[in-house]
Amino acid sequence: MWLHQAELGLLNVLLLPSLVSSISLDCGHVRTEGQSFNFKSLEGPHSVQYTRNTPPTIRNTTYTIDLCAGLRIKKDMKNEDQCPGNTRVCGIEYDYNSVTGTESIAEVIPIAGEFALNHGLALDPKYKRLKTSESHADADREGVRITLHGGRYPNERKGVKQKLILEMLCDRNRTGLEGDLGDGRVPPHDNSRTLTARSYSEDDDDEGKDPEDGGDDEDDGDGDDEEDQDKDRSLRYVSYGNEGDGKNEMGVLRLEWRTKWACEGMADQNDDGTDDDDNEDKNKHWGFFTWFIIVLFLAIAAYLIFGSWLNYNRYGARGWDLLPHGDTIRDIPYIVKDWGRKVVNAIQGPGSRGGYSAV
């Protein structure tokens, strides 16, 4: 019985890494349908903003994402004004009152994260290669669609489930950091947040359009609609809204990220554009010499051990006599000393006497 339990325990230990990897996201190794993608160069917090007029206020929503790790808790913000720990994607809605000049946080929405210990939901990343997607719109696009889960709003067991659909699109002319806003989570009354909201309001007073009203209309942002004010930025906001109904209702955030790291085959490239195969060749050469030294050391050790054993059993040798060629080994320091003296004399030359000794 105890042996059976031990086997089960060992099986659980062996399966634990695969279980963890299945519910977490390794940004440096995203693999799907035989293709690998490395988004390690995009680690850290990155933000997109969407602003709309809601008279008498202006609502500025900032979505912050970190593909490689959970967003860090900010010390200059109250806990209730930011998403909990282990959040990968966080949405914060700021209300700016243009009449009173005051700003406040209206909503904090944890979109995706590793909250399995909190309310039973995991990140559960899903990957889909765009070229093999069922949608005809994806037929000519290269990249990968990443779906992340885990969030609820409100952040409680009965809250509406949240989901991120992130389309990593291949653009060989972009690193993915163009127009980067960094960590857009700031406390209320922060000057950068207020100025951002004002700049949006001045440009969009005559539009008043809300992408959320468009449902699931898949706009690639390349049309004449000027609501995409961040067209020069690599990370872009697409839409956010509730989809489904009843128990299946879910808040869905859609983002797109244009970067060369979403191109197939770029997982083997370094940040400087060199191929990893070159580094692998260097590592192979270094490995050859390392193994050569190890094998040489083992051969010498085996020779000394076997020779000592043979001298002990055959001749009853003791001490230095155990070692094969013991006399030669004892003379090595003197041999090296004489050799060094000859080298020094050869370098210094015969001296001023031309090589003749005094009589």
Q: Which of 243, 267, 291 is the last residue of a domain?
A: 267
Measure Cα distances from 48 to 181, 183, 229 in Å.
7, 9, 11
Do 136 and 260 lie in one domain? The reply is yes
User: Residue 238 maps to which CATH number?
Assistant: 2.70.130.10
Is residue 203 scored above 80 in pLDDT? Answer: no
- Per the structure, how many domains does the chain have? 2
Measure Cα distances from 313 to 6, 244, 305, 307, 359 in Å.
47, 86, 12, 10, 58
The reply to whether 2 falls in a domain is: no
Query: Would you give the distance in Å from CA 335 to the centre of its chain?
Result: 57
Q: Which long-range contacts (CB under 8 A, 24 or more apart) does 157-161 make?
A: 157/119, 157/120, 159/119, 160/242, 160/249, 160/250, 160/251, 161/121, 161/249, 161/250, 161/251
The reply to whether 356 falls in a domain is: no
Picking from 66-75, 106-115, 314-323, which range would have the lowest pLDDT averaged per residue?
A: 314-323
Do 284 and 237 lie in one domain? The reply is no
The reply to whether 354 falls in a domain is: no
The reply to whether 46 falls in a domain is: yes
pLDDT score recorded for residue 353: 53
Query: Using 50, 70 and 90 to split pLDDT, how confident is the model at 236?
Result: very high
Q: Give 260-306 pLDDT, tens digit per residue.
A: 999 998 877 655 444 545 555 555 555 677 888 889 999 988 988 88
Do 327 and 186 lie in one domain? The reply is no
The reply to whether 14 falls in a domain is: no
Is residue 20 scored above 80 in pLDDT? Answer: no
Query: Using 50, 70 and 90 to split pLDDT, how confident is the model at 72?
Result: very high
Query: Using 50, 70 and 90 to split pLDDT, how confident is the model at 18?
Result: very low
Do 75 and 173 lie in one domain? The reply is yes
Q: Which of 267, 295, 327 is the last residue of a domain?
A: 267
Do 42 and 85 lie in one domain? The reply is yes
Do 81 and 216 lie in one domain? The reply is yes
Average pLDDT of the segment spanning 108-121: 81
Q: Which of 221, 240, 267 is the last residue of a domain?
A: 267
Average pLDDT of the segment spanning 32-54: 93
Q: Which residue has the higher pLDDT, 143 or 200?
A: 143
Do 259 and 285 lie in one domain? The reply is no
Is residue 37 scored above 90 in pLDDT? Answer: yes
- Residue range(s) defining the domain that contains residue 317: 278-348
Do 287 and 188 lie in one domain? The reply is no
Tell me the average pLDDT of the chain: 78
Picking from 115-124, 159-168, 273-282, 285-294, which range would have the lowest pLDDT averaged per residue?
A: 273-282
The reply to whether 273 falls in a domain is: no
Average pLDDT of the segment spanning 191-199: 50
The reply to whether 25 falls in a domain is: yes
Do 82 and 58 lie in one domain? The reply is yes
pLDDT score recorded for residue 210: 43
